[in-house]
Structure 1
């Protein structure tokens, strides 16, 4: 078996092609590992103690947010280390660390142990970003677009399949066994990366980087750029505010009868599927009618879809409206990226997008906290109402920023 695997990766392939195959599988597994626990993480928390409804939603929110908080703090550290020690080392660190941390989650005996491991999971982030960096530097320039485009489908596919697989594994085996299986698969990723990913590393030599003030000075309209940072944060917070209570809401709608975790996995995956298919088409529409217009349409459509979710009595209706929200994400997320790209000079584009990534992590962290707080104080349906209000605030802020941007351009 081992010889067959070795022959597969060594069979008449250029080094960059071999890297692509291994890293695609690795990013697929990393995306799946992060998303497959979403359908049942709150239900797993519920098995770790005797909690009231308020306590359960509070601990679920903390558990979801812990990883993103730590990721936002440590990512710059790993980025600097990758430039000095190599991207492959960061890939091995992330895959091995995730393997042991995800596997260890199956052994926890209380919620605080789970929260601690979720925080530790954030420490071992960086597999995907370093895979992109390694492939970009090891692939011939004329093939880099193909390679990086193909690699990006690994993470997206993993994110889509993760909730479905996680819900199925938890339903047919158990929550704990699902963590063990995920840890084992990530351990395979580590060994494949160790033996079959090749890097010709040269430490990055760079001049003194621009200061934050100098970067802002390069921007034609800093207000619209920072407005898009806030927009990114609120979009992510809106999407993730529902995460801690989604499986609990599904359980309530199904009256705790039937394959709750499997159905929750389907409901969790539906928006991602809709976004995957709608984003390219809506991006083309935005090119024709204007990026700002498609962004505004996305906000209005999202508000109209979030509100009915608070009043549904069928899990299938919930799935329908979740699919519609995925379409709105397909309008909003690419539009924000396009606006940032158009408003950022090439020399500071990387810095601007790294700041946007930080705001995205803040949204991923704050969303579950907002959702758990609202559901704890009121009920699950109230989370969807509060989310629609959050999107409405975002819409108003974007209108103000884009109006001032048009006024500044006119003058």
Structure 2
């Protein structure tokens, strides 16, 4: 069964053996630019909401959170659909669709007349966008199997760099050209990515016949076990990373950080996690190519779970920053390894749809993490959030180890 999957999984990669390196470069650039555009409004979003007519502080905060989260909600809801269509019509059309859609919607956000239009346009950006998700699908399926972990790590580095760079650009650009013109500029940047995608990305795509599950019940059971474990782990990764984000500023005040610098310190702490992931994503992806994706998943979950515990006992912001950097480094190996594991376990005819659901699982964790962390931190205490997240990560490591062994027994 494994050999059959390998042959089916390699056929598309073999057809595109001449293109995958150039396509990877374009996808890294496109993912970087689209994620810059989606995150750069973080520093000035409350100001823009106020410009659109909202006056009370509580309402400004509420609308800012709603408008920011709407994009990721839209992406999470539609990722399986775009994945399914990519299985039928090819990976490149989905990249082009996402890039052109974002290039059109971003300037429209700069033309919003009220917060309702702002929120709906942010939701639309998520619904028709998803360039980074489509890039993951193309790279995961087009790259040679023995290099897919490294390539996905490189792609993850580009996406994380965009997430980290976006707020920095958003803090500078509006002061130079104004808030609305900032959206126009980012739309132009995405248009460049769309043009590069259309011209440079090459794909030889032939729809693969759908396999019959009825003919191989043991293979189906094996596959469902692996895919289910990967979905749960994908959600856990984002849950763990985001559960602490809402309470970092308050937590630093709790450990008596200098109030005059607490916002800056919180920003450094948040950026430290992304920086750790940027540095380690590609090396851990390469490690997954050498020892297998599932081993890297187990090791990284265990390391991340252990690194959560000392974060509950820090007495200075820089200690938390160091630990968050190490946590980001540990988490960096998970998403590339998850995509690699799914690629090795799912027939090519269904890969787009399955990876789409994996993306939706990530966005579910991104939504549930801050909600759970904020609620638990308020009710029980902020240190409890670290212990809860640590327990979940360590349980995830044990569960993945069990699932790995169970899948091996089922597949034999």
Settle same-fold status: TM greater than 0.5: yes
5+ residue gaps in structure 2? 1-17
The 1-side partners of 2:308 and 2:299 are apart by 14
The 1-side partners of 2:91 and 2:166 are apart by 25
The 2-side partners of 1:407 and 1:198 are apart by 39
CA-to-partner distance for each residue in 1:328-386, whole Å, 9 max, x for gaps? 313655665676678x36679936544433311221233344456567x569x83x643
Are 2:306 and 1:301 aligned?
Answer: yes
Are 2:395 and 1:390 aligned?
Answer: no
Are 2:407 and 1:402 aligned?
Answer: no
The 1-side partners of 2:151 and 2:320 are apart by 37
Q: Contact 2:139–2:151 at 8 Å: present in 1 too?
A: yes
Match of 1:5 in 2: none
Q: Contact 1:40–1:247 at 8 Å: present in 2 too?
A: no
5+ residue gaps in structure 1? 1-13
Are 2:189 and 1:185 aligned?
Answer: yes
The 2-side partners of 1:39 and 1:110 are apart by 19
Match of 2:8 in 1: none
Match of 1:97 in 2: 101
Alignment CA distance shift 1:165-1:293 (3 Å):
same
Q: Contact 1:39–1:166 at 8 Å: present in 2 too?
A: yes
Give the superposition deviation at 1:267: 4.3
Q: Contact 1:165–1:265 at 8 Å: present in 2 too?
A: no
- Taking the TM superposition and a 5 Å limit, the aligned residue runs for 1:263-342 are 266-279=268-281, 284=287, 287=291, 291=296, 294-308=299-313, 314=317, 316-330=318-332, 332-333=334-335
The 1-side partners of 2:146 and 2:329 are apart by 33
Alignment CA distance shift 1:17-1:164 (3 Å):
same
Match of 2:11 in 1: none
- Taking the TM superposition and a 5 Å limit, the aligned residue runs for 1:51-62 are 51=56, 58-62=62-66
- Aligned equivalent of 1:125, options 124, 129, 137: 129
Which SS does the other structure have where 1:206 is aligned? coil
**How many residue pairs get matched?**
386
Give the superposition deviation at 1:71: 1.5
Give the superposition deviation at 1:274: 0.8
Give the superposition deviation at 1:122: 0.9
- Taking the TM superposition and a 5 Å limit, the aligned residue runs for 1:178-217 are 178-194=182-198, 196-197=199-200, 199=202, 204-210=206-212, 217=219
The 1-side partners of 2:128 and 2:65 are apart by 20
The 2-side partners of 1:106 and 1:163 are apart by 17
The 2-side partners of 1:238 and 1:245 are apart by 13
TM-score (norm 2): 0.68
Give the superposition deviation at 1:265: 5.7
Alignment CA distance shift 1:301-1:137 (3 Å):
closer
More off after superposition, 328-337 vs 178-187: 328-337
Alignment CA distance shift 1:335-1:199 (3 Å):
closer
CA-to-partner distance for each residue in 1:26-52, whole Å, 9 max, x for gaps? 233123223434455467557763455
Q: Contact 2:277–2:332 at 8 Å: present in 1 too?
A: yes
Alignment CA distance shift 1:206-1:335 (3 Å):
closer
Match of 2:159 in 1: 155
Q: Contact 1:231–1:398 at 8 Å: present in 2 too?
A: no
The 2-side partners of 1:212 and 1:67 are apart by 38
